[in-house]
Amino acid sequence: MSKYIVKCLQCGDIHDPYSMSCKNNDESLLRTEYSAKQLMISDMPGIWRFYDWLPVNGIIEEGSGKTATYRSKAFAAELGLDDLWISFNGYWPEKGADLMTCTFKDLESFPTVQRLKELEETRVLVVASAGNTARAFANACSITGQPLLLVVPKTSLHRLWTIQDDSSSICLVAVEGDYFDAIALAGKIAARDGFVNEGGAKNVARRDGMGTVMLDAVLTSGKLFDHYFQAVGSGTGGISAWEASMRLVDDGRFGSKVPRLHLGQSLPCAPLYSLWNDVDKVSASCPEGMYDDVLFNRKPPYGLTGGVKDALDATNGTMYAVINEEASSAQSLFEKTEGIDINPAAAVAVASLIQAVEAGNVKPGDSIVLNITGGGQKRLMQDYQTKQLIPSLEVSADDPKAEELIVEKAAEVFGMNI
């Protein structure tokens, strides 16, 4: 029996394990089904300890880290919560957290790049990002040598750093425009010969990699939680937590009910909150004015089968909209009580939890896991020297020649014949 299959949630057809979409053109995500119904922890490093429930047939030994889950005391006491657990995704060696880009996007990049290795993929991987995903893929591709074209908004360049010495496998392009402009350009380029798309929410490796946050939390605590909190841009992390929870229910050792999803977004640019609550919470100037613009995606995977709406419906979930003052206050409180710096996006999750406590959406005795999706960057810089990635090219999203300019630059960097 194979380790896993990949199935369309709408038609039920089984697809090639590396497929990104249904061959019948269904508006549905594909999902992995694993032959191992109970999760056995391996003795492999980092994320690979969850090897049984990752859609890979090998590992990248160097550089892969994992989530560190622990029971909160000081911050939980501030909120009057008895059973709050923190899933910390970043760099905090004292807690065993070793994601070297200080973001849980590392959990996506390593399984995705491993699958490219299995396919013996020589084409250039194309990734569009507002910063954190780009940093994670730059890290993984620097380690493996996978050619990588990063297309990011110019305003996100400050997030593009690495601890790796060799970044020669990376071509970084800065776009005058927002994240959606970067996605649109990257999509056109990825459809051309010589390039391959990483797949976004449709990539089961990305979702199952992020799902290891829930796996780590439940295996550490020994139980499925009542509530799960996370800040989201596309919402793919929420989908991943839901999918992992269903596998843990089927495992049979941790409980019979999936956690309720509580997903937070940053005002004034909260499209998922708008869709869920049927209100307009997206300013025409977005992503300007956000506490962290990595949380903005103009076209999230909301309504497709297996998407964000299904995840919220299935878990009796809800969405939160957080203003900057709330996020800033939440970040200060968390850092003061827990003793580690966190990324602004994670502060939105903390603020969402505070809103939920104040609204009575969670009770003092409820079991809760809070996904800190990024943190420890200040802590990492005490131990490592970071190196800023320098763009190979800058283009305007309004330039009709932008696509051709990017392709020509990638051809130059990677020695391609186009």
Q: Which of 102, 165, 166 is nearest to 136 (CA)?
A: 102
3-class secondary structure, 154: helix
Average pLDDT over all residues of the chain:
95
pTM for the predicted model, two decimal places? 0.96
Q: Is the pLDDT of residue 361 over 70?
A: yes
pLDDT of residue 25: 84
| N residues, the chain | 418
Task: State what percent of residues in the chain have pLDDT above 90.
Answer: 91
pLDDT of residue 416: 86
Tell me if 63 sits within 8 A of 100, measured CB to CB. yes
Backbone angles phi, psi at 321, to 5 degrees: -120, 125
Q: Which of 167, 112, 150, 131 is nearest to 410 (CA)?
A: 150
Residue 96 and residue 69: Cα distance in Å, rounded? 9
pLDDT of residue 178: 82
- The model's pLDDT over 260-271, given as tens digits with 9 standing for 90+, comes to 999 999 999 999
Q: What is the mean pLDDT of residues 306-331?
A: 98
* The two structure tokens encoding residue 162: 């690495």
Question: What structural domains and CATH numbers belong to the chain?
Answer: 68-103+206-380 (3.40.50.1100), 124-193+386-414 (3.40.50.1100)
Residue 341 and residue 353: Cα distance in Å, rounded? 18
* The two structure tokens encoding residue 136: 């994670």
Q: At what angle do helices 344-359 and 324-338 cross, to 10 degrees?
A: 100
Residue 347 and residue 359: Cα distance in Å, rounded? 18
